A = this chain, B = another copy of it.
C-alpha cells in the first residue's frame, strides 16, 4: 500500500517520531487519520477536550486565541512536519488554543492513546517529545519578553523566526503577521513598507523575502 508507505516516510521526518523503529512507525501510521481543511477552517477549538495529537502534512496551520473585540492573537505558525498541541496529550487537559488552517491544509490526527503507547514503548520518543516541549516553552518565553517592545522590533523578530521556518520566502500576508505580533494590519503594512524602502525586505502580494537578515537583526539591538 503506497499511501501507507508514504505516511511512514513522512513520520520519519517528524522530530518526535524520528527514532521509532520501523515496526513502531508502522504501528503509528496504521493509527493515523489524514484530514483536509480549507483555508480559514478550524481544526479544533480552544477549551475543547482533546483526544489526539496533530501533525501538519501539507499547508500551514496557526495556533491562535480569539480576543475580546474579535481580534485574533496568533501564538504559533506551524509548517509541514511539525506537531502541534501535544500538551493536552500529556496533561489530559483541554486544547490551550484554537488551530486554524491558514492555507488549504492536510493534517494528520494520531489518537492520544496510541501516542502514549508509543511513548511508553520508546524512551527515545519520550525524550524527543520532552525536547519538543522544552523548545516550545523557550520559544514562548522568548516571545513573551518581546511583547512590550515597539512594533518594528516585534515584526523584525517575527520575520527572522519565520525565515528559519520557511526559508528565503515567507508566505504570509500583512494581516497574518499583524495577528502574530499583536498589532493592526495598517501598522504592519506601514512598518513592512518602511522595511522595504530601507532595503531590508522585498514583498509581493502574500509573500515576503528578507533581503539582508542582518539588516533586520540590527533592529533588535
Q: Which residues of A contact B (CB under 8 A)?
A: 65, 67-68, 73, 75, 87, 90-91, 93, 96-97, 130-131, 133-138, 140-145, 147-149, 182-183, 221
Contact = CB atoms under 8 A, between A and B. Distances in A.
Contacts of A138: 87, 93, 96
Given A145-B67, A145-B75, A147-B147, A93 B182 contact: no
User: Max chain B CB contacts within 10 Å: which of A96, A140, A141?
Assistant: A141
A141 B74 CA distance: 11
The residue in A91, A93, A130, A183 that gathers the most chain B C-beta atoms within 10 A of its C-beta is: A91
A34 to B, nearest CB: 27
Nearest to A71: B148
A94 to B, nearest CB: 10
Copies in the complex: 2
Given A68-B221, A221-B68, A144 B134 contact: no
Contact of A91 (B134, B142, B148): B134
A90 B148 contact: no
A133 B68 CA distance: 28
A44 to B, nearest CB: 15
Nearest to A67: B145
A220 to B, nearest CB: 9
Given A96-B138, A138-B87, A144 B145 contact: no
Contacts of A136: 137
Closest 3 CB pairs of A and B: A91-B134, A147-B147, A148-B182
A75 B143 CA distance: 11
A137 B144 CA distance: 12
Contacts of A137: 87, 96, 133, 136-137, 140
